[in-house]
Amino acid sequence: MASAKRTHEPDNSSSQEIEPANKRQKFDLASLGLNLNIIQKIDPEGDVVLSAPKRCRSKRIQAMTGTTAHFLVSSKHLKMTSEYFKGLLSERWPKGQALAFGRVVQIAIDDCKADELLLILNIIHGHVRAVPQKISFQTLVDVSLAADFFQCTDVVELFALRWIDGLKADLPSKWTPKIPEWIMISVLFRHEDTFAHVTKIAVENGTCPFKTHNLPIPENIKDQIDSSREKYLQKVLGGIKERIRTLVSRGPYFSSRCSSICPMESLGRLMEVLAMHKILFRWSSSDAPDIQATSALLEGLSPCEIRAMVKNNNPAPLYRCKDGRSCEFKSLPWGYAIVKFAEKECGKVKIKKTQ
């Protein structure tokens, strides 16, 4: 019985010609209506084109033709570093399904300037030398907002900490409209020293509930700023009420050391200063003072203004009565307790950032 002769010829019926990736890429870019010559190639073998309006300062981007900047990037890098792109490019969505079939996809980025987008993309793709050592404060704000939107603050953080340190000279020493932006930056990138500095300014200089201006500042941070400020003001408010009770009743200090005029002079001076700041009092049936317009105090004065109000309306501490005795009422009409708290406690307010 003759043995069958075996052949090893390839089965051409199932073979496919593999199209080079660069040819597929050119075809896909052409189908998207894009020209390779106008695209900034962050990853020359990328499979995603990010397009952003050219509202930017970079000469490199401005040199591109058209009103939109285009960046060719890697979906792999985007998904590894950004929760936003990880979700957008998953196979549950059309963009991710197109990638699964080997197509190049285009994504429009409308809420991010091309400058900041390019900076973040260079970080994501490991182009460290293309990342600037220093940036302006406004650029840092824009990068922070973009990093929060793309959910990639952890990746940007190392560079952001360096940028923040480079802007120490621009860090405000008093309240400015930039304080909420500094709080946002210090929270997003966990810069503890900056956070402690700017939140202290927010607490001491706030005259109303803290406004985030739609910045990505956690609600617990806002609550702590408001709580610390209100706690300080309420304590001063309680001290003022107690001081007025003491002056009205003339207190135990009156009988042994002061004339009847001393407490009344101090009370008059105290009420005059409070009236100037719209802090008014009424008397209850029990002859106990009660502060009116408490909300006006909490939303009209800052802890720093309270401190200045107390400090600037205290005569010399060695004031003496006609009989030569030192007079606590005239020397410190606000009382020792209020003066001590106003001068020391306000500067020690701290807020611990919680994650």
Q: Which of 11, 126, 118, 18 is nearest to 58 (CA)?
A: 118
What is the predicted pLDDT for the residue at 238? 79
pLDDT of 155 > 90? The answer is yes
What is the predicted pLDDT for the residue at 230? 84
- pLDDT tens profile 306-326: 877 777 766 544 455 555 555
Distance CA 291, CA 8 (A): 102
Distance CA 146, CA 112 (A): 6
pLDDT mean over 267-294: 65
pLDDT of 67 > 60? The answer is yes
Distance CA 229, CA 221 (A): 13
Residue 202's Cβ-side half-sphere holds a number of Cα atoms within 13 Å equal to 28
Across 257-283, b (16+ Cβ under 10 Å) vs e yields: ebeeebbebbbebbbebbeeeebebee
pLDDT of 11 > 50? The answer is no
281-283 and 289-291 as β-strands: parallel, antiparallel, unpaired?
antiparallel
Whole-prediction pTM = 0.77
Mean pLDDT over the full length of the chain? 77
User: Coil, strand, or helix at residue 280?
Assistant: coil
Report the percentage of the chain scoring pLDDT > 90.
38
Give the CATH fold of the 20-131 domain.
Potassium Channel Kv1.1; Chain A (3.30.710)
8 A C-beta contact, residue 250 and residue 263: yes
Residue 68 buriedness (CB in 10 A; 0-12 / 13-18 / 19+): middle
Instruction: Extract the tokens encoding 150.
Output: 């793309």
pLDDT mean over 278-307: 63
Outline which parts of the chain fall under CATH 3.30.710.
20-131
Of the pLDDT bands very low, low, confident and very high (cuts 50, 70, 90), residue 8 is very low
Amino acid identity at 5: K
User: Coil, strand, or helix at residue 42?
Assistant: coil
8 A C-beta contact, residue 270 and residue 333: yes
Residue 236 buriedness (CB in 10 A; 0-12 / 13-18 / 19+): buried
What is the predicted pLDDT for the residue at 287? 53
8 A C-beta contact, residue 186 and residue 201: no
Distance CA 184, CA 196 (A): 12
Strand partners, 290: 282
What is the predicted pLDDT for the residue at 64? 56
pLDDT of 21 > 90? The answer is no
Question: Which residue is associated with the tokens 């985030």?
Answer: 212
pLDDT mean over 159-170: 95
8 A C-beta contact, residue 215 and residue 184: yes
User: Which residues fall within 8 angstroms of residue 226, CB to CB, at 6 or more apart?
Assistant: 206, 209, 210
Report the percentage of the chain scoring pLDDT > 70.
68
Strand partners, 108: 51
